[in-house]
Amino acid sequence: MPRSSARQTGYGTARDDHTYLIAIGSNQRHPLFGRPRDIVALAMELLHETLGEVTACSAITASAPVGPSQRQYANAALLLQSRLNPRSLLNVLQDTEAMLGRVRRGQRWQARTLDLDIVLWSGGIFAAPELIIPHPLYRERSFVLGPAAQIAPLWRDPLTGLTIRQTAARLSRWKRKA
């Protein structure tokens, strides 16, 4: 990885790999794969086996539902080293979601067996019609920031310059005031 990328984010390797921060969530049971917590754990295993080296995993935590879904979520985050570019990684993540039972329907934030999001990557900013990195909403989501802060507290957002720890603290203060 170019030195500038490693310096910018604080995460990277000496190889030509990219480092990705992946958020994982589930709030729908699957008849074969079990409870949301089990699905998140299985997704973490599959990503490790198929995509590259998983260098860190957060604990799996519970969070309140977002949007129309009324089911509690199981959430986690992991750091992944992969030679895949962001578009290719997105395709593999979406295939993994489908393999574990996710069906994409029109409504956002509905119950789902698995949601895999690229939050940050060592390349800084990436923008394409199908994918924006940093994830546009991660700064507003404690269910992403909490697990991310467990494994990458010093990773800096390339847009704000704030670390994940600082972003999580700001969100926490804002929620307490609201």
- Residues classed as catalytic: 102, 112, 115, 117
**Of 144, 124, 161, 167, residue with least CA distance to 12:** 124
**Sequence-ordered list of residues with C-beta below 8 angstroms from that of 78, at least 6 positions apart, any chain:** 21, 22, 24, 44, 47, 54, 56, 57, 58, 151
Cα→Cα distances 37→72, 121, 142, 157, 177, Å = 10, 25, 18, 28, 31
**Sequence-ordered list of residues with C-beta below 8 angstroms from that of 88, at least 6 positions apart, any chain:** none
